């Protein structure tokens, strides 16, 4: 709302980052594959708001399956917040592009994982 009143307050659009995070990209690809096959592991998730549940895993699996195969991934944001590593990827799925946000704690547990349409 503030950015509509004062455009200088708007968050600048994300731009592709040319230095890849190969380790995180491989993990995201594995998580998406596990989600699509319904084989996400509870031990990969920790401190996830609302907790990890079979219902959440099934909903994620259904959503990922409907998107189709991953064709490409582009790292759009890489930052640390406190001790969490946050990465944002634009992913071109077979059916449509989506934006994925993932946050990982120092112990390797996923603290946030979400897939949404890319804002325009």
Provide block-wise average pLDDT over 10 residues at a time, the chain (120 residues).
77 85 93 88 74 75 90 95 94 96 92 88
Q: Who's near 113: CB < 8 A, 6+ residues apart? A: 31, 45, 48, 60, 100, 101, 102, 103
Q: What is the pLDDT of residues 85-99, one digit of tens each?
A: 999 999 999 999 999
pTM of the predicted model as reported, rounded to 2 decimal places: 0.85
| pLDDT of the residue at 49 | 66
| pLDDT of the residue at 51 | 67
Q: What is the pLDDT of residues 19-38, one digit of tens each?
A: 888 999 999 999 999 988 88
Calpha distance 53→59 (Å, rounded): 10
For 31, phi and psi rounded to 5 degrees?
A: -65, -40
Calpha distance 120→85 (Å, rounded): 25
| pLDDT of the residue at 12 | 78
| pLDDT of the residue at 2 | 76
């Amino acid at each position: 709302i503030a950015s509509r009143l004062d455009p200088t307050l708007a968050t600048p659009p994300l731009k592709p980052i040319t230095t890849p995070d190969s380790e995180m990209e491989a993990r995201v690809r594995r998580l998406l594959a596990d989600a699509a096959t319904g084989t996400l592991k509870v031990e990969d998730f920790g401190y996830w708001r609302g907790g990890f549940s079979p219902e959440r895993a099934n909903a994620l699996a259904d959503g990922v399956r409907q998107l189709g195969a991953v064709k490409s991934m582009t790292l759009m944001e890489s930052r640390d917040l406190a001790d969490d590593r946050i990465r944002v990827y634009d992913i071109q799925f077979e059916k449509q592009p989506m934006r994925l946000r993932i946050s990982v704690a120092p112990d390797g547990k996923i603290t946030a994982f979400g897939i949404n349409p890319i804002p325009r």
